[in-house]
């Protein structure tokens, strides 16, 4: 049986990586093979592209194309083989992030991202997408408590993240069959329970 493809989305600092790690461990405890991966990244080439994308200033179309180049490699080397052998793939960000950040945040036409998605993904679609929704100020407060140096995206202004958040709302509205919008201001334990319930039907 083909595996299941779960993606985690939201603005920076929403708490999706925390839940991604928790759900991967939870699924393993149920006996599933789980491939926990991330974008941009997930392959040696993808991780190199991630280093560039998070640090180097570039034209917005270059940024979009590199996101999809990393994604194409990720699908070919990791995601498709895992799903074919029956593993669950838990991916910290996927194509929705390109709509939210490169279109919503940066202002690239939605249709251009849709064309890249159609070319790169073919029929591949996540089975379940969790969008972690949170006010920008709350996410910023969470990030401020972490001492890490901020990357090129995390350094963006509030208005950028408001546009990214609005784009995620659009994605949730347009894809009700696969997207669950989660109130990410809840405690980690409350969100754990929501995820557990959501994946039970799979
Ligand atoms: N539900 C929660 N309540 C309070 N704090 C949380 C919650 N979930 C995560 N955090 C904390 O918020 C910070 C950001 O969490 P996390 O790294 O999971 O976010 P993220 O959405 O993956 O961010 P990024 O996209 O920047 O990697 C961490 O310090 C984490 O411990
Ligand atoms: C996949 C993808 C990611 N981004 C941005 C969003 C984040 O700020 C960074 C790195 O992700 P992380 O969750 O902080 O590890 O990359 C993007 O702009 N477009 C994309 O398609």
Read off the pLDDT of residues 90-149 as tens digits, 9 standing for 90 and up.
999 999 999 999 999 999 999 999 999 999 999 999 999 999 999 999 999 999 999 788
Asked whether residue 22 carries a pLDDT value surpassing 90, the answer given is: yes
The CATH fold assigned to 5-200 is Rossmann fold (3.40.50)
Distance CA(154)–CA(75), nearest Å, equals 26
pLDDT at 147: 73
Q: What residue has token string 């405690």?
A: 187
Instruction: State the ipTM, two decimals.
Output: 0.98
Q: Among the bound ligands, name the one nearest to the CA of residue 99.
A: 2
Share of the chain above pLDDT 70, in %: 100
Annotated binding site for ATP: 10-17
Name the closest-CA residue to atom 12, ligand 2.
Answer: 12
Distance 146 CA to ligand 1 centre (A): 9
Ligand 1 cavity residues, CB under 6 Å = 10, 12-18, 142, 145-146, 154, 187-188, 191
The answer to whether 96 touches 167, Cβ cutoff 8 Å, is no
Indicate if ligand 2 lies below 6 Å from the C-beta of 9.
no
Indicate if ligand 2 lies below 6 Å from the C-beta of 37.
no
- Can you give the chain as a three-state secondary structure string? CCCCEEEEEECCCCCHHHHHHHHHHHHHHCCCCEEEEECCCCCHHHHHHHHHHCCCCCCHHHHHHHHHHHHHHHHHHHHHHHHHCCCEEEEECCHHHHHHHHHHHCCCCHHHHHHHHHHHHCCCCCCEEEEEECCHHHHHHHHHCCCCCCCCCCCCCHHHHHHHHHHHHHHHHHCCCCEEEEECCCCHHHHHHHHHHHHCCC
Asked whether residue 162 carries a pLDDT value surpassing 90, the answer given is: yes
Name the closest-CA residue to atom 18, ligand 2.
Answer: 101
Does the pTM surpass 0.95? The reply is yes
Q: Which residues pair with 10 in a beta bridge?
A: 132
pLDDT at 199: 94
**Which residues are CB-contacts of 37 (< 8 A; sequence separation ≥ 6)?**
74, 78, 79, 89, 90, 91, 92
pLDDT tens, residue by residue, 183-196: 999 999 999 999 99
Name the closest-CA residue to atom 9, ligand 2.
Answer: 153
Distance CA(169)–CA(133), nearest Å, equals 8
Distance 142 CA to ligand 1 centre (A): 6
Domain parsing of the chain, residue ranges: 5-200
Indicate if ligand 2 lies below 6 Å from the C-beta of 163.
no
Asked whether residue 170 carries a pLDDT value surpassing 90, the answer given is: yes
Q: How far apart are the first and last CA of the chain?
A: 12
């Amino acid at each position: 049986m083909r595996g299941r493809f779960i993606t985690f989305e939201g603005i920076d600092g929403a708490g999706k990586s925390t839940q991604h790690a928790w759900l991967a461990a939870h699924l393993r405890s149920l006996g599933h093979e789980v491939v926990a991966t991330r974008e941009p990244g997930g392959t040696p080439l993808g991780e190199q592209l991630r280093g560039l994308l998070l640090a180097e200033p570039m034209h917005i179309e270059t940024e979009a194309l590199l996101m999809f180049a990393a994604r194409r490699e990720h699908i070919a080397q990791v995601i498709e083989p895992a799903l074919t052998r029956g593993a669950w793939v838990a991916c910290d960000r996927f194509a929705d992030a390109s709509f939210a950040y490169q279109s919503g945040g940066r202002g690239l036409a939605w249709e251009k991202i849709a064309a890249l998605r159609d070319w790169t993904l073919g029929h591949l679609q996540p089975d379940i997408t969790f969008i972690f929704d949170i006010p920008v100020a709350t996410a910023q407060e969470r990030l401020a408590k972490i001492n890490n140096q901020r990357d090129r995206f995390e350094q963006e202004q509030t208005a950028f993240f408001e546009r990214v958040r609005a784009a995620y709302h659009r994605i949730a509205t347009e894809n009700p069959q696969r997207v669950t919008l989660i109130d990410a201001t809840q405690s980690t334990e409350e969100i754990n329970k929501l995820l557990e319930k959501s994946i039970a039907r799979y």
